[in-house]
Structure 1
Amino acid sequence: MSKRLSVKTKTILTILFVILMALLITVADKKASDYVVLILNLIAINIIFAVSLNLINGMTGIFSLGHAGFIAIGAYTSVLLTLPIEQKEITYLIKPLISPFNRIELPFLPAILIAGLVSAGFGYLVAAPSLRLIGDYLAIATLGLGETIRVIANNAWSITNGALGLKGIPSYTNLYWSWGWALITVVAIASLVSSSYGRALKAIREDPIAAKAMGINVFSHQVMSFVIGSFFAGVGGALWAHLITTIDPKSFAFVRTFEILIMVVLGGLGSITGSIIGAAIYTVGLEFLRVLESPFKIWFINYPGVPGMRMVVLSVLLIVLMLFWQRGIMGRNELSWDSIVSIFAKLKRGGKR
């Protein structure tokens, strides 16, 4: 049995790992191509989405399908706060932008925080009535509420510019912003899950009735989990909007929630490490499979390329994965320094044989 590392050793290793990641991000920001930088940004933002949804679905056991709605709220809120006033006057031609957004222009950081808080507020308004439901009824309710937000965005011309969307968004998101917030999201939710509050959430996930019998306020814990997940979804939406620099209601259809759910299930429901791995694999996998949508040649066979084929192949791969790893890559396990040391110890013992 391997010896467990002390808290001091784990802290030092964690600090060294963060410093190493910061150095790698700095090198990538200066040396990598724009395409690679875009993919790295998308990985970090998808990590925020996956980890925040995993808190709701995996840790608390709430089957929510409305995550795209909170991403939309965060994206639109941050854009309305950071878009230059002159740009707003040019963009809103059909109906003028309502006050006070037509006179506000804030820096990126407060805009992100406000976007997260607004999403959290809407998360509370959604959770308070819908969490009275259970099972499939709750999933349908959250799906409907997420679609309602998209429909409102499609018709609220004086706020979202309707179906025309918003363009010319300031390109504030870079590797430091995206990975910095990804680190904050992971640390915050991991700390929450490892606390007594997190243990109560897991108890609710396993058996809400038993948890209630033990004195846990099931409803308030579920609402708080939903609100925290919505906050980070809004933050991720703000980062995504300022990375892509153009948004419209179609960007936040149910497909977005479905993609994030794939990342969570792929990595493992209930595992933060799994969400990180799932987000990275899904993002990079989509780009690798993009070649299937363009003409190419294998030996003497010419393949014409089929639009959308990468999603078909990815779906088949995910089905195969679920057949052999039904709980995802990590299941409910987490990668820790103790487990890493244990893996190396086993490899070392195996090499001596």
Structure 2
Amino acid sequence: MKQKKTLLTVIAILVLFVLVYLADQNLDSYKMRILNLCAIYVVLGLSMNLINGFTGLFSLGHAGFMAVGAYTTAILTMPDVVKGQNFFMVPMMKPLDTMHVPFFLALLIGGIFAGIVGYLIGAPALRLRGDYLAIATLGFAEIIRVVFTNMQSITNGALGLKGIPESSNVWWTFGVAVVTVLFIGSLINSSYGRAFKAIREDEIAAESMGISLFKHKVLAFTIGAFFAGIGGGLLGSLLGTIDPLMFRFFLTFNVLLIIILGGMGSITGTIISAFIITIGGEALRFLDESMTIGNLVIPGISGLRMVVFSALLMIVVLFFNRGIMGTNEITWDRLFAKFNKKPLAKGGSKL
């Protein structure tokens, strides 16, 4: 049975990449960017869900980890000439001004740096709980943004970085998303994942069973920060430009919205929600523009798109107060059970 499920997983991944190939060949650049953003938000959503959903911590510092990953990846991939063009006011610190590594290595280093920052923040902050932890992590994220704004010889300060090589494409974004899903899924189904869930349900009971609260909280926080850094690196490379104002609380809020709508503690829900929110936000963009219905011209209202989108999300949350999936997953076992149900015998009744 295990081999069968592994084979089905491999087939599903192959089908996904066939669809990605077809999309890459047939869709225009605008639609491809939306698909890239969907995959990136899957990575970011899963990284935050590991912390907030599976471990039960209330962290609001995700934008800071994304900033670390985005800046690290950008600095390590930018050509020397482009660095010189960006740092025209204050020269870039040596040896960063001549340092250049392949995109994959830069992405990995960005994730590692974000994980280290996550560990340094988590070690003191995770002794707090609830709202106090949220305030502390939000404060640390803002500190990271302010530090980046003032480190002009490394980050170019408030001017940001432009001309970042646009290495992110559907193969990178969906490839990283698949790896993230497989890794988080394996982690959650391991003994560490069961410990995370135990901490989420009842910290006192988990500790009485011999689970080290501090160790597992810091581990979840560090891994979540690592994948947030990876997602930030992909996002910066996709956009081609970054600046400190990108990494304000609103970015954390977008990721938080994904895991709340999809379900706190559901990998499947996070994936579905990332696509719904990213595509839905773009599909409603026509509401900001003027519309003509017969002889009637309705002037566009700036921001109406977000008002309608927020109202739709509120309706969904009201009817699905635990998110689309809650804590449930779409697994092979669940699908087998659904399709292997035998019909009731004639005249029989369901017990």
TM-score using structure 2 length: 0.96
Deviation at 1:84, TM superposition (A): 0.4
- AA partner of residue 167 (structure 1): K
1:62–1:349: structure 2 CA closer, same or farther, 3 Å change rule? same
- CA distance in structure 1 between the aligned counterparts of 2:343 and 2:156, rounded to whole angstroms: 63
**Structure 1 position 32, deviation (Å):** 1.5
Aligned partner of residue 62 in structure 1, secondary structure = coil
Residues 1:124 and 2:124 are matched in the alignment: no
- The worse-fitting range, judged by mean Cα deviation, of 145-154 and 195-204 is 145-154
**Other-structure match for 1:137:** 132
* Alpha-carbon separation, structure 2, partners of 1:317 and 1:192: 33
Q: Which residue of 1 aligns with 2:74?
A: 79
1:311 CA displacement: 1.3
Structure-1 separation of matches of 2:258 and 2:332: 24
1:67 corresponds in structure 2 to 62
184, 188, 192: which one aligns with 1:193? 188
Tell me the distance in 2 between the aligned counterparts of 1:36 and 1:295: 22
2:153, 2:72 → 1: CA distance? 13
Deviations for 1:159-193, whole angstroms, at most 9, x for unmatched residues? 11111111111010011100000011110011000
Residue 269 of structure 1 pairs with residue 264 of structure 2 = yes
Cα shift readout 1:69-103 (whole Å, capped 9, x = no counterpart) = 00010000000100001111111012111122112
> Which secondary structure state, in structure 2, belongs to the residue aligned with residue 98 of structure 1?
coil
Aligned to 2:333: 338
- What does 1:221-300 correspond to in 2, within 5 Å? 221-300=216-295
User: 2:310 matched to 1:303?
Assistant: no
How far the C-alpha of 1:338 sits from its partner, in A, is 2.3
**1:284-335 Cα deviation digits (max 9, x unpaired):** 0001110111111235542211122111111111111111110000000001
Q: Tell me the SS of whatever aligns to 1:302.
A: strand
Amino acid at match of 2:287: L
Count of equivalent residues: 346
Aligned mates of 1:265, 1:209 — CA distance in 2: 25
Q: Could you give the per-residue CA deviations for residues 23-58 of structure 1, whole angstroms, max 9, x where no partner exists?
A: 111121222211111111000000000000000000
How far did 1:120 drift? Answer: 0.2
Deviation of 1:9 after TM superposition, in Å, equals 1.8
SS in 1 for 2:278: helix
SS in 2 for 1:143: helix
Q: Paired residue for 1:217?
A: 212
Alignment gaps of 5+ in structure 1: 1-5
Closer, same or farther: CA 40–349 of 1 in aligned 2, 3 Å: farther
* Aligned equivalent of 1:3: none
Secondary structure at 2:97's aligned position in 1?
A: helix
CA distance in structure 1 between the aligned counterparts of 2:156 and 2:84, rounded to whole angstroms: 11
Q: 1:22 aligned to 2:17? A: yes
Name the CA shift for 1:316/1:345 in 2 (closer, same or farther; >3 Å).
Answer: farther
Aligned to 1:173: 168
Structure 2: distance between partners of 1:18 and 1:232: 20
Select 1:161's aligned residue among 156, 168, 174: 156
Q: Which amino acid is the alignment partner of residue 321 of structure 2?
A: Q
Q: Residue 108 of structure 1 aligns to which amino acid in structure 2?
A: F
Q: Alpha-carbon deviation of 1:209?
A: 1.1
1:101-129 residue CA offsets vs partner (Å, 9 max, x unmatched): 11201110100000000000000011001
Query: Superposed, which structure 2 residues align to 1:92-103 within 5 Å?
Result: 92-103=87-98
CA positional deviation for 1:345: 5.1
Q: 1:327 aligns with which of 303, 322, 325?
A: 322
Superposed displacement of residue 8, structure 1: 2.1
In the alignment, which of 145, 164, 188 is matched to residue 150 of structure 1?
145
**Secondary structure class of the residue paired with 1:101:** coil
**Aligned counterparts of 1:349 and 1:74: Cα–Cα separation in 2:** 53
**How far apart are the structure 1 equivalents of 2:62 and 2:108?**
18
Could you tell me how far 1:274 is from its partner in structure 2? Answer: 0.6
The one-character-per-residue Cα deviations of 1:192-245 (angstroms, maximum 9, x if unpaired) are: 000011000000001111111110000010000000000000001111111000
Greater shift, 69-78 or 143-152, is seen at: 143-152
Query: What is the alpha-carbon distance in structure 2 between the residues aligned to residue 243 and residue 88 of structure 1?
Result: 18
CA distance in 2 between partners of 1:150 and 1:329 (Å): 33
Q: Any unmatched runs of 5+ in structure 2?
A: none
Q: Which residue of structure 2 aligns with residue 107 of structure 1?
A: 102
Find the partner of 1:41 among 33, 36, 40: 36
Give the superposed CA RMSD.
1.6
